[in-house]
Amino acid sequence: MGWFNSLVAATLPYVPKPIVGFFSKNYIAGEFLEDAVQTVKDLMAQGMCATIDVLGEEVKRKEDSLAAVEEYKRTLRVIHEEKLDANISVKPTHMGLHLDKEFCYQNIKTLIEEAKKYNNFVRIDMEDSSTTDDTLDIYLRLQKEYGNVGTVLQSYLRRTISDINRLLPVKPNLRLCKGIYREPRVIAYKDKEIINYNYNYALKKLLSNGCYVGIATHDEKLVWYALKLIEELGLKKDQYEFQMLLGVDHELRRILVNAGHRLRVYVPFGKEWFAYSTRRLKENPEIAGHIMRNIADRILGRKQ
């Protein structure tokens, strides 16, 4: 299917915006905070919680990061006012990492302090490997001072196990995912089985050392292994959570929620949805394949 994914990914960016919007609407709450609020309310009615992402990355001007900080502050206030079961996820390059690391640190710190007022939490997303050192560095600095912050590790990176070994003494709160960016082989595993083995190895290390983990995957093989570990380690429901992307595998979501597991859905919103969708598709043609297969499944009634 490689050629099919690449073909879809190569042609979708040239498809008119309304058509991309039609395809993206399952994966993005909408342009406005109100859209995200409604999406979170719908998820809560189905027994789930959420993490809200204000779309944007790789900003070129500090004003854009500062505007994003304001939008996140508004989001935290509205989460509190509307009593939503949701926290926020922020991308370091949206907070200005590539402009000035200290500026980025201060922006994320501002959000953590704002979140703390509402007893809420900030997750620092992990972007491509050029940002890993700085992201972990910023996380560790903030983690020393605040308890309401976590970050993300990616099982495709060769460095992840040593990052875990380095982070374990501070009992990090981590989301564990496979990783979505295109990386060279010297940096990231390419073999899907190895990425899965590494995911399981990393998950076991984290859970058996008492870390809170957001188990972020739709891969049922990984979900099965996570459930096995949870059972073997006798973990309570508040020692981990599953996480999934908006619009992906509703059935697996329901299975986990019905079995009593905490499940958080990543809810992106914002004006940047078109740039975000096309960039993701260019970076990772497999997503295009997933989207087309999901649409076909829905049309043919094979999935809900």
Query: Active site includes 53?
Result: no
Give min distance, CB of 18 to ligand FAD, in A. Answer: 20
* Distance linking the first and last C-alpha atoms of the chain: 23
Annotated catalytic residue, options 175, 253, 262, 264: 175
- Quick check: is 125 catalytic? yes
**Minimum CB distance to ligand FAD, residue 177 (Å):** 3
Query: By rule CB under 6 A, what string of x and - marks binding of each residue 122-161 to ligand FAD?
Result: ---xx-------------------------x-x-------
- Strands 86-90 and 174-177, how do they pair? unpaired
Please select the residue that binds ligand FAD; options are 20, 206, 244, 281, rule is CB under 6 A.
Answer: 244
What does each C-alpha distance from 220 to 82, 149, 160, 197 come to in angstroms? 33, 28, 22, 14
When binding is defined by CB under 6 A, the residue of 42, 58, 71, 219 that contacts ligand FAD is: 219
With respect to ligand FAD, which residue has the nearer C-beta, 1 or 81?
1
Options 53, 125, 163, 249, the catalytic residue = 125
Q: Which of 217, 223, 225, 261 binds ligand FAD (CB under 6 A)?
A: 217
218 binds ligand FAD (CB under 6 A): yes
Judged by CB under 6 A, the chain residues 186 through 205 that form the site for ligand FAD are none
Q: Give the integer Cα–Cα distance in Å for 11 and 166.
A: 42
Nearby residues of 33 by Cβ (< 8 Å), 6 or more positions away: 71, 74, 75, 78, 269
Q: Please, are residues 37 and 86 in contact by the beta-carbon 8 Å criterion?
A: no
Among 49, 66, 227, 248, binds ligand FAD (CB under 6 A): 248
Number of residues assigned to the chain? 304
Residues 6+ apart with CB under 8 A from 290: 248
Amino acid occupying residue 192: K
Q: Does residue 180 belong to the site contacting ligand FAD (CB under 6 A)? A: yes
- In this complex, which beta carbon is closest to ligand FAD, that of residue 33 or of residue 265? 265
Q: Which stretch binds ligand FAD (CB under 6 A): 14-22, 95-103, 139-147, 211-219?
A: 211-219
Alpha helices in the chain (DSSP H): 2-11, 17-24, 33-45, 62-81, 101-117, 132-145, 160-167, 192-208, 220-233, 250-258, 273-283, 285-299
